[in-house]
Amino acid sequence: MEKVGSLAEQAWAQLGRVLVGQDELIQQLLVVVLCRGHALIEGVPGLAKTLAVKALAKVLQLEFQRVQCTPDLMPADVIGGNIFNSTTGGFTLHRGPLFTDLLLVDEINRTPPRTQSALLESMEEAQVTIDGTRHQLSDFFTVFATQNPIEFEGTYPLPEAQLDRFLLKIHVGYPSSEEEIAILERYQSGFDARQLDRMELQSIGIEALREARAAVSSVQAEPGIFRYVSELVRRSRDWPSLSLGASPRAGLNLLLAAKAIAAMDGRDYLVPDDVKQIAPAVLRHRVVLKPEADLEGVSAEHVVRDLLAAVEVPK
């Protein structure tokens, strides 16, 4: 667990040179990478969502690609395709931005369902199929998709089947007054987010990430933790304000993400607080509110909070 704690500490220190505040965002980005998952990042424009992912890729020495989603974006624009080569008389594979380590899909809800679905195979199987041929993706392939929660015109809401493939849904809020002042002071001192490459960020390295991932998988959980996680997801299926509760995959992801929290804390065993800490990010996008509950102002956050309060914590 020392390797996981060391990686998290180094990453936190380096990302802190780029981001002001946003501790929860940094922690959950690290959880996603350690768990080989994907994340949906939701927040209004200008909260450093793109900057955070770019900085993470630089610190971990991972290849980074960005796709700006628009209504006319086609699957081939993301995946790539076979292009006829007149010189050789054959077809050559043109690899799209999907062939990378960290892929930032900016404003994913602005691209049509056909293109959204093109990401499903890659997110679940770490491979893509082009003209009947399967192509394996990077061992570190991770999708960070962003969406704006306030603009709905010209958008295509993600279906539940695709939402369920995101390990976490990360909420990014506004900085505090002190943090916003610190941001202004940094820019006054010469910091420029567009010149991230000029910053001498200390790299951690791929091998350290591989070792940390293996350590997270070895975190132990007692039977009481299994019952606690199972009860949380099962109670959501009968919750009065929900029309759709969490799936078994949600329980698996909750256990895995909690292991990453424990490992970053230097422990090789789970405690209920690990589950409670990461539960909102794992469950908030996997439950569907009943229309009447939505009209009454109930949110997924409220439901998850009430679930955590209703289920007995193992001792």
Q: What is the pLDDT of residues 164-217, one digit of tens each?
A: 889 999 999 999 999 999 999 998 988 888 888 778 888 888 899 999 999 999
Sketch the domain layout of the chain as residue ranges: 2-211, 219-310
142-147 β-sheet, strand order: 64-68, 102-106, 142-147, 39-42, 168-171
- Residue ranges of E strands in the chain: 39-42, 64-68, 80-85, 90-95, 102-106, 127-130, 133-136, 142-147, 168-171, 242-244, 288-289
Q: What is the pLDDT of residues 60-91, one digit of tens each?
A: 999 999 999 988 899 889 999 888 777 777 78
**Euclidean distance between CA atoms 289 and 248, whole angstroms:** 18
Kind and range of the H or E run holding 53? helix 49-60
Q: Is 219-310 the same fold as 2-211?
A: no
Specify the CATH number of the domain 219-310.
1.10.8.80
Q: Mind listing the pLDDT tens digit for each residue in 210-234?
A: 999 999 999 999 999 999 999 999 9
How confident is the model over 113-171, as pLDDT tens digits?
A: 888 888 877 888 888 888 888 889 999 999 999 988 776 666 778 888 788 889 999 99
Is residue 44 within 8 A of residue 148, CB to CB? The reply is yes
pTM of the complete model: 0.92
CATH node for 2-211: 3.40.50.300
Distance CA 31, CA 213 (A): 10
What digits encode the pLDDT tens for the residues 228-283? Answer: 999 999 999 999 999 999 999 999 999 999 999 999 999 999 999 999 999 999 99
| Range name among 52-56, 106-110, 233-237 with the lowest pLDDT average | 106-110
